Structure 1
């Protein structure tokens, strides 16, 4: 007799598949979590993110990692690894920072974890472990050395002869280290006749001579003489400078001295120190940098000058460029009486707009008062304060390219001050043919007119240049006619200048040039010769 299944058996038959699926699902989750590995971001560069683990035996190149606290898909892709570290490429907008927690969750069906250490080439292991401590710095050295001579031979005055040389070195991360160097100096030797009244015939000027050290990717130290681009109006600084980055912001400190005002040498009596703060703005439509600072300068221990400054530069939508800088003095000392008065000593602003590839416009305005150092110029204070007028100026320039081979433009500038002294009006225009008909080469015509309190000048010139031998040889011919009309002289002074320049690229880094010029006015005849030899160097290590 066939037995019919009971109700309980029928229910178990229906539930059993669901129970089986449930336990398989839970088991898969437990299995997936069984290989979870946690680590921490140890270093961040512009291209890679380094993560340290206790052991990377369960991770393979190509696996993805998650940031703790980040929802959604994994955002780090493993590109290389050692036994305890992974070098990762950020995916999407990862935003990983040093110290952030990282999790690796093996996918379903992950291979069985082997506790033994992976066999990794020692070179890769060393590279990854080194990168956890320091970024990979790459050496790049740019250098330029030049020597030139200048000679003037005249029929009615003493001959003049000069020898000049310049050296500039920009060495970043020497030998792939954290150390950099910056050098810029020039030397001039004068060979005038013994009757010359010159006090110094040998002049050495050192503008930059410093060593930098990247203590970390966000902390830079600088020792020596250097011109800080964020406070360029301060000029050269002899001493120690430090700058720390905080994301888009930065803070800088400096302590040192000013170069000597007479020979530009080192003078520890001209102590100066200060601090600055700035921030960068980088977005799709604007790139900007703003710096605010406070500087105090001393002379023989006493306050010479104390002032605040601001410097801003920005680019809007790639067509509009704006720059401004200002200095505001905060201290004065007259007749032994000190005051904390505000005095605007400098303001400069410029705006450049590119309407199209064919038209661009630039306008600028500046106002400047004479800077007063109350200790250095203590005996001349009365005269300096009487002449405390703002010398102002405006300028506008527009360039056009009406046709492919024609470029033209004009500019107007005006200088003025309240007492009507030192005023000047200047008008300039030019026309350039980039391909001269029937002659080849480039031809330019220009005219300049300047009118001041004591002089009216008109200058017209024409210049033709052309290259040969695949641009290795460059020639330049010019003629310039100059007319001077002085207010205290009845006759106009007319001068003629004719010259030629030949430059030859001996190789890609070595250039030699020679320029000859003849000028005359009335019975005076002058011959000038200028020679120049330039050697450039460039060394760059690649990854």
Structure 2
């Protein structure tokens, strides 16, 4: 039932190189990433998070300076200050493919599979040279979120602690382990945490992997499978085997609890998938995956479905991706029967017209996902909801090395909505303003729904105060919402200031302030983060 805004990226490459950085600051929808140098990084590029030796798309570059990037999140991954970020580039020709869509994890699934395949190719080649190399790395971070306001909500304080680790080929063996855990608490929710530790503790990844051969792996624990990521995390056992161009996998286990993300073994799930990959002489790929999944609640069928997805990069500069989910079971008023209903359809096309000019278009159609056991009291209402349709078109143009221009428009509608939702965005970005050597971005967003009309105008400046050590930025946003069925409007002036300090090679500290000023209330937010990597 959760929908995501996702960017998709793939590279056609001859030699894929990596550049490592880390998140230095997060403010609202902006994520700041620091590198030793932003050479080979361009506005509009996709940045990645390395998860289990696989690069997963996470951020899109909106602006940059000589060592820092201002980005926006493009996936549902939990990002925190200090997280390692990877930029990829190639020596010769590069094709970046991106699209922003509203669809149930379809784009997320596609992105994970693309990068898993690319990483599997790289890992297999590496293993031929160095077998079972021991590799352990991770991070520990401490974050503080403080809010001060004269609104009825008052002040707030939140702390968050995270621990992430990857241990590859432990002790030179074929066993690897990975984990990503966070614990957070507010100043007024200790009673809730004492009654249920999972109100504060979140285990996003906790798994052990055994690879008896380079073409087979067995996973035990909690992990999202990139081939079937739209079902979320799987708790228990997964297995996968590759035969040349064919991949076959299966899993059995449970789903995380839908209220607190704890382990809930009454939510049984099992299924399997088969995939075929084709690669032409130019190293461009096409992959088709088919999967079947059954999810239960206390032994009764909750949801049974199949899905198929396909991506194709065989034609130069052209990328096609599509996915569909099909419901195979329904239980209405005690009448159980098999069915064949499409619940999600997503199609995307992107074409790179010139090296500095690209366009993309997408279409999504979805209906409600119904869990007959978990959400019994909602079934009748969910069955009445109409399908939601959405379209999006995007264009990106880089007329000069330091200048980038882009725009997108979106449209979505439901038959019972009073009117469709329409939105549009345009930006101009220049990476090196003469005289001050700072990067600047100006953007405008227009939004119209059945209930409001809105305009958002923003200006952001960023600069390396001490190259390689201290980075700073300033932003201002003018937000004006006019409501359709109530009088007046909601006018906001929002400003934020950020400083990020690289104390040592693996230790960094960042602090930021964001002020939101309205007619009646003022909101002040302070965020601080200390991170160490190992």
- The answer, yes or no, to whether TM exceeds 0.5 is yes
| Residues 199, 529 of structure 1: alpha-carbon distance in 2 compared, 3 angstrom cutoff | farther
Q: Which residue of 2 aligns with 1:485?
A: 482
Q: Which residue of 2 aligns with 1:152?
A: 147
- Displacement of 1:509 in angstroms is 2.3
Matches within 5 A, 1:234-313: 234-285=231-282, 286-313=284-311
> Paired residue for 1:340, among 338, 341, 353?
338
> Paired residue for 1:364, among 362, 365, 368?
362
Q: Which residue of 1 aligns with 2:391?
A: 394
| Residues 229, 455 of structure 1: alpha-carbon distance in 2 compared, 3 angstrom cutoff | same
> Paired residue for 2:133, among 133, 138, 148?
138
Contact 1:159/1:192, CA 8 A, preserved across alignment: no
Q: Which residue of 2 aligns with 1:82?
A: none
Quick one: distance in 2 between partners of 1:338 and 1:268?
24
Q: Relative contact order (C-alpha < 8 Å, sep 6+): which is higher? A: 2
Quick one: distance in 2 between partners of 1:524 and 1:477?
22
| Residues 193, 215 of structure 1: alpha-carbon distance in 2 compared, 3 angstrom cutoff | closer
| Residues 326, 444 of structure 1: alpha-carbon distance in 2 compared, 3 angstrom cutoff | same
Quick one: distance in 2 between partners of 1:353 and 1:405?
22
Quick one: distance in 2 between partners of 1:189 and 1:494?
32
- Displacement of 1:188 in angstroms is 1.7
Contact 2:280/2:314, CA 8 A, preserved across alignment: no
So what's the TM-score if we normalise by structure 1?
A: 0.70
- Displacement of 1:405 in angstroms is 1.6
Q: Say yes or no: does 1:169 pair with 2:165.
A: yes
Could you tell me which runs of 5 or more consecutive residues in structure 1 were left unpaired when the two chains were aligned: 1-132, 538-543
Corresponding residue pairs, total: 403
Give the CA RMSD over aligned residues.
2.4
- Displacement of 1:306 in angstroms is 0.9
Quick one: distance in 2 between partners of 1:329 and 1:135?
45
- Displacement of 1:422 in angstroms is 8.0
| Residues 324, 303 of structure 1: alpha-carbon distance in 2 compared, 3 angstrom cutoff | same
Contact 1:135/1:217, CA 8 A, preserved across alignment: no
What secondary structure is seen at the aligned counterpart in 1 of 2:383? Answer: helix
| Residues 333, 208 of structure 1: alpha-carbon distance in 2 compared, 3 angstrom cutoff | same
1:178-222 alpha-carbon deviations (Å, 9 max, x no partner): 0111212322211149999x9989522222111000022222100
What secondary structure is seen at the aligned counterpart in 2 of 1:342? Answer: strand
Could you tell me which runs of 5 or more consecutive residues in structure 2 were left unpaired when the two chains were aligned: 1-127
Q: Which residue of 2 aligns with 1:86?
A: none
So what's the TM-score if we normalise by structure 2?
A: 0.71
- Displacement of 1:168 in angstroms is 2.7
Quick one: distance in 2 between partners of 1:385 and 1:372?
8
Matches within 5 A, 1:111-510: 136-157=131-152, 158-192=154-188, 202-285=199-282, 286-317=284-315, 319-387=317-385, 389-420=386-417, 423-510=420-507
Quick one: distance in 1 between partners of 2:266 and 2:477?
48
Quick one: distance in 2 between partners of 1:361 and 1:298?
42
- Displacement of 1:259 in angstroms is 1.0
| Residues 213, 319 of structure 1: alpha-carbon distance in 2 compared, 3 angstrom cutoff | same
What secondary structure is seen at the aligned counterpart in 1 of 2:132? Answer: coil
What secondary structure is seen at the aligned counterpart in 2 of 1:261? Answer: coil
- Displacement of 1:332 in angstroms is 0.6
| Residues 451, 230 of structure 1: alpha-carbon distance in 2 compared, 3 angstrom cutoff | same
Contact 1:218/1:245, CA 8 A, preserved across alignment: yes
Query: More strand per residue: 1 or 2?
Result: 2
What secondary structure is seen at the aligned counterpart in 1 of 2:200? Answer: strand
| Residues 353, 499 of structure 1: alpha-carbon distance in 2 compared, 3 angstrom cutoff | same
Contact 1:496/1:519, CA 8 A, preserved across alignment: yes
1:7-35 alpha-carbon deviations (Å, 9 max, x no partner): xxxxxxxxxxxxxxxxxxxxxxxxxxxxx
- Displacement of 1:421 in angstroms is 5.3
